[in-house]
Structure 1
Amino acid sequence: MDFRNARARQPEVVRSVQKDLRYTNELTEDLSDLLRLTGARNWIKYNQLCKLLAEITYHGFASVSNLQTLGEEYVGIIKVDSKYKHIPTRFVQLIAIILEFGGETLYIHLLQKLEVYIEQQENILPDAKKKLISCIQLMQHSPNYIKALHKSLFYLHSDKYQISKRATGINYVLIRHWIQPEFSLFGYKILGVITFLQVSISFLISAFEMWKEHRRKQYATLERKSSKTIIKHETEVESVTKAPQCVLCLEPRTNTSLTPCGHLFCWTCILEWLDERDECPVCRETVKKSNVIQLQNFL
C-alpha cells in the first residue's frame, strides 16, 4: 500500500514530538530520583546520563516492539520507510534513535579526533594544516545552524522534524487521514521563513565576529614582527654606536691598525694620513708606514 497521500503534516509531527518529550522528561526525573538513592557522588557524576538513557529506553522499546510511541499514538501517526510502503525495519529505527540522541556528540568527537590526527601529521605543509584545522573548528560550530536550517525547512514543507529521520528516510503518515480536519498551514510557512532569516542573520553575525577575530590576530602578528624588527634594528644601531671609533674618519674602526706609539686607527685611514705626513695624528710622534701593524680579530 502506498501512503504518499497520507503524509503527516507539521502540526501532527510537532505535537507528537512534544508529547514524547513530556514522557521522556518524566522518565528522566524518575531515573534521576533512583540514582540519587545511590549517593550524592554518583548522582552528580551520572545524572546527565539519565536523560540519554531515558530517551534511548523510551524510543528504543517502541522501535524494537514495532509499536507507536505515546506521542505518535496520541496524534494518530505511524512511521513508514522512504518509499511510503512498509514499516521501517528495526535496524533502521535503531539507527535513527542513535543519530537523534547521540549523533551530535559522535559528530563532535570524530571532528576532535580528526583535528588531533592532522596536527600530528608531519608531511602536511604548515599552511595547509592550519587551514584544515580552521575548517574543522568551523565544522564543530555547525550543528546548531544545521538543526535550525532543517527546522525551517520542516516548517516550510516537510514531514521530517528530526535530522535523523531525514538521514534514515523514515516518514510519518496519518493512520486515518480521511477524517483529519483541514486547516491552513500558512502560519507554519511564516514560521519557517522567520526561522530561516533568524539563523541566516545569526550565521552572518558569527562569521563577521570570526572575521574580526582573524583580522585582530593578523594585526597582532604584524605588530609582534614589527616590534621584533625595531628591537633588532635598535640593537644593531646600538652595537654600531658602541663600537670603537677611528679619530680620523670618526666612524667605527675597520681593519684596526696599531702605530708604534700605541694608537689605533682604520688601516686605510692611517695609511692615507701617512701619505701626507710621517707622524701620529694623535701624539705627533714620527711614524712610518712600515711600522704600522694591522691587528687581527680586534675591534
Structure 2
Amino acid sequence: MQYNRTLKAEIIRCVQKDLTYTNELSADMSELLQLTGPRNWIRYNHMINLLSQIVYHGFASLQNLQTLGEEYTGIFQIDNKQISIPSKLLRLTATILEFGGEQLYIKLLNDLEKSVIENKEILPEAKIKIRTTIQFMIGSIPYIKAFHKGIFYYFTSSTKYHISKRITGIRYVHIRNWLKPEYSLYGYKFLGTLTLLQLAVSILLKLYSVFKEKNDKNLQDHFTKSTSHLLQKSFDSHTSQIPKCTLCLETRKNTSLTPCGHIFCWDCILEWLDEKDECPLCRDKISKSSIVPLQNFL
C-alpha cells in the first residue's frame, strides 16, 4: 500500500514536470518556425506540440535515459516482468503511441472509410453499417481515455497513467522511494469516482442524443411525403450550406483562423480567449496575437 501510495503521486508529478519542459520546447520551436515566414507558421505550427513531445521523450528513449520528470520524482521505467529496463524499441513505441497514436488511429479509420465509400463492390447497406461503426470507433476515443484515467485514480494497484504504458506493458518503480513522503489515496479515489461518474453521465447523454436524433429523423422522413415539407427541406439544405461559427452558432462574421487550423468569428474567438488561452475545439494553447483574420473567406 505504501509503495503504490507513493508511486501514484510521483507518476502524476512526473507527467506534470515533463509537460512543463515540453511546453517550453514547443514554444521555442514555434518561434523558430516563425522565422521561416507567416505562411509556413500557419501551415505547420499545429504540428509543433506533437513534434516537441516526440523529440523530448524519443531522445530519452533512444538513450535509455530518464526524462527530466522521472529524474525529478525518482521513478524509473521497467518492463512488464519487472526484471530489466524496457528496450529502446519498446520505449520508442510507447512514446509514438502516447503522443501520435490517436492521430494515427483516426487517420487509419478515415482512410478505411474513404476506401469503403469508393469500393463499388460493397453494397450500399453494408457501406452505411461500416461507416457507422467507424464513426462510433472514432467517437469512442474520449470515453476510452476518460475510463482509463478513472481506473488509474480509483484503483490502488493501478499505476499506469498512460494508455501507451498499458499497451506496451511498461511499468514504473521507485529508485529512491525511501526518501518520498507517504501520500493519501483517498483523494485519488474520490477523483477517480468523479471521473467515472462523469463518464457514465456523458455516455447516457450521448445515448439520449442519438435516440432523440433517430426519432427526429423518423419524424422528418414522415413529413417528407408532403409537398410543403419538400419545400422546407430545400430551404434548410440551402441554409445549412452557409458556414457558421461553432461558438455563436451563427453565420461567421470577420472569419478568423487559429494556429491549429480552426475557424471562428473574430469577436467570438477573442471573447473566448479572454476566459481561456486554448482553442475551443482541440484545446491547443493559443493567444490573441496568433489569431489571423481571413480576407475574402466565408
1:112 Cα deviation (Å)? 0.9
Q: Which runs of 5+ in 1 are unaligned?
A: 232-299
Compute the TM-score of the two structures, normalised by the length of structure 1.
0.71
RMSD: 2.1
Listed one character per residue, the Cα deviations across residues 112-144 of structure 1 (whole Å, up to 9, x for unaligned) are 112122223344443333222112111111111
| Distance in 2 separating the partners of 1:218 and 1:125 | 23
| Distance in 2 separating the partners of 1:155 and 1:34 | 38
| Distance in 2 separating the partners of 1:125 and 1:39 | 48
SS at 2:82 equivalent: coil
Identity %: 52
Compute the TM-score of the two structures, normalised by the length of structure 2.
0.71
Q: Which runs of 5+ in 2 are unaligned?
A: 231-298
Could you say which residue in structure 1 is the equivalent of 2:164?
164
Segment of structure 1 superposing worse, 203-212 or 144-153: 203-212
Could you say which residue in structure 2 is the equivalent of 1:227?
226
For 1:219, give the aligned amino acid: L
| Distance in 2 separating the partners of 1:107 and 1:138 | 13
1:214 Cα deviation (Å)? 1.8
| Distance in 2 separating the partners of 1:183 and 1:55 | 29
| Distance in 2 separating the partners of 1:119 and 1:145 | 27
Query: Matches of residues 15-26 of structure 1 in structure 2 within 5 Å?
Result: 15-26=13-24
1:182 Cα deviation (Å)? 2.1
1:59 Cα deviation (Å)? 0.5
Larger radius of gyration: 1
Could you say which residue in structure 1 is the equivalent of 2:85?
87
| Distance in 2 separating the partners of 1:168 and 1:61 | 18
Could you say which residue in structure 1 is the equivalent of 2:174?
174
SS at 1:184 equivalent: coil
Listed one character per residue, the Cα deviations across residues 200-247 of structure 1 (whole Å, up to 9, x for unaligned) are 1011111211221122122222222x337x99xxxxxxxxxxxxxxxx
| Distance in 1 separating the partners of 2:60 and 2:134 | 36
| Distance in 1 separating the partners of 2:127 and 2:46 | 35
Could you say which residue in structure 2 is the equivalent of 1:138?
136
| Distance in 1 separating the partners of 2:165 and 2:63 | 18
CA contact (8 A) 1:6 1:173 kept: no
Q: What is the total number of aligned residue pairs between the two structures?
A: 226
CA contact (8 A) 2:9 2:183 kept: no
SS at 1:181 equivalent: coil
SS at 1:62 equivalent: helix
User: Which of these residues, 53, 75, 78, is aligned with residue 76 of structure 2?
Assistant: 78
Could you say which residue in structure 2 is the equivalent of 1:119?
117
Could you say which residue in structure 1 is the equivalent of 2:28?
30
| Distance in 2 separating the partners of 1:13 and 1:93 | 16
| Distance in 2 separating the partners of 1:73 and 1:189 | 26
SS at 1:159 equivalent: coil
Could you say which residue in structure 1 is the equivalent of 2:67?
69
1:178 Cα deviation (Å)? 3.1
For 1:132, give the aligned amino acid: I
| Distance in 2 separating the partners of 1:41 and 1:121 | 37
Could you say which residue in structure 1 is the equivalent of 2:253?
none
1:53 Cα deviation (Å)? 1.4
Could you say which residue in structure 1 is the equivalent of 2:107?
109
Listed one character per residue, the Cα deviations across residues 4-51 of structure 1 (whole Å, up to 9, x for unaligned) are x96662211100000000000000011111111111111111111211
| Distance in 1 separating the partners of 2:49 and 2:108 | 22
| Distance in 2 separating the partners of 1:125 and 1:31 | 48
SS at 2:103 equivalent: helix
Could you say which residue in structure 2 is the equivalent of 1:204?
204
| Distance in 2 separating the partners of 1:21 and 1:179 | 24
